[in-house]
Amino acid sequence: MIGLPDVELAAQRIRPHCHVTPVMTSVTIDELAGCRVFFKCDHLQKAGAFKSRGAVNAVFAHALEALQNGVCTHSSGNHGAALARAAGLRQIPSFIVVPESANPLKKEAIAHYGGQLITCDNSLAARATRLEEVRLQTGAVEVPPFDDPLIIAGQGTAGLELMVQVPDLDSMMVPVGGGGLLAGVILAANARVEVYGAEPEKADDAHRSLRTGVRVMEHQPDTLCDGLLTTLGEMNFEIIKGGAEDILLVSEAQIIIAMELIWRYLKQLVEPSSAVVLAAIMAHRETFVGKKIGVVLTGGNVDYRNLPFS
């Protein structure tokens, strides 16, 4: 099992290639939420999302000889862009399988970083099938989006930085899609800070998995949060079961309100997936009142031409 030392090693490995992102606060949001919220701005991370942490950690952990045919993955966008950028840093090709319905800005970002886009149908099964074809054709090494020790350790560096930037946090909370970030932050916290996940009601597989103790695999997500559509990874679930305080659910309406608050008072362009954490804090006010909570704004690759609150 991986642990805090893996996250600390990842932090050293990614340092030359990733930002230590800033932490922002808003007096008005704190008043509205009834607690103090510290927003770790990973939408300002390289390639516009925390996903650069895991992707850089994975790509730089391998020997270059092992990567001569490049890397491949499937992604709804941010992991794909992050992997394309990381591959570019090592001057190897990248092959990114993306569902047709993916946010156009995320697809453009993958191409911008030199990734080869391969589109597929929108189901998780179609993604996996297409990726396996690509892997066999190209000989590229697969870098999974979340169910992987190097990815988990890499994402955990966001939590490690946040605990240094705000040393006396009561809690940390992050969005849950495949669970890479949540698992990584749990390892980083190492039981010194309680860690919550936040998830859309309409993509609640992680919540149900934690409640039942069995990883939910059948899943028909229907949420604005295009970064949170996947089901929980196996390794991720083991870490989350052992270390997550809870996984809180929020409605789509709560997500939209929280996203607008972040836009309006932090002046930060975050995507809907990033807003679930503030939505969860506000929806579970009694749990957090008076506390200091660190949250991760996970990505800024929002299609601002098509806003939920216009």
Catalog residues that contact its own copies under the rule CB under 8 A.
Answer: 22, 24, 28, 43-44, 48, 105, 112, 263-264, 267-270, 300, 304-305, 307, 309-310
Would you say 212 or 309 has its CB closer to its own copies? Answer: 309
**Residue 172 CB-half CA count within 13 A:** 33
Structural Rg of the chain based on CA atoms:
18
Least CB distance to its own copies at residue 225 (A)? 17
**Which residue is listed with tokens 């698992």?**
183
Would you say 112 or 219 has its CB closer to its own copies? Answer: 112
Would you say 79 or 85 has its CB closer to its own copies? Answer: 85
Would you say 46 or 215 has its CB closer to its own copies? Answer: 46
Q: How far apart are alpha carbons 308 and 310 in whole angstroms?
A: 6
Output the CA torsion sign for 48, 165, 60, 184.
Answer: negative
Query: Of the candidates 197, 145, 134, 186, which has an alpha carbon nearest to the alpha carbon of residue 162?
Result: 186
Would you say 41 or 280 has its CB closer to its own copies? Answer: 41
Would you say 23 or 117 has its CB closer to its own copies? Answer: 23
Helix (H) or strand (E) holding 49: none
CB atoms within 10 A of CB 300: 20
Least CB distance to its own copies at residue 27 (A)? 9
Secondary structure class of 25 (helix, strand, coil): coil
**Which residue is listed with tokens 């992997």?**
83
Least CB distance to its own copies at residue 259 (A)? 11
Would you say 9 or 44 has its CB closer to its own copies? Answer: 44
Total number of residues shown for the chain: 310
Tokens of 115: 């990734």
Least CB distance to its own copies at residue 122 (A)? 25
Cβ–Cβ under 8 Å, residues 185 and 161:
no
Least CB distance to its own copies at residue 257 (A)? 14
Least CB distance to its own copies at residue 198 (A)? 21
Least CB distance to its own copies at residue 47 (A)? 11
Exposure of 106 by Cβ count < 10 A (0-12 exposed, 13-18 middle, 19+ buried)? buried
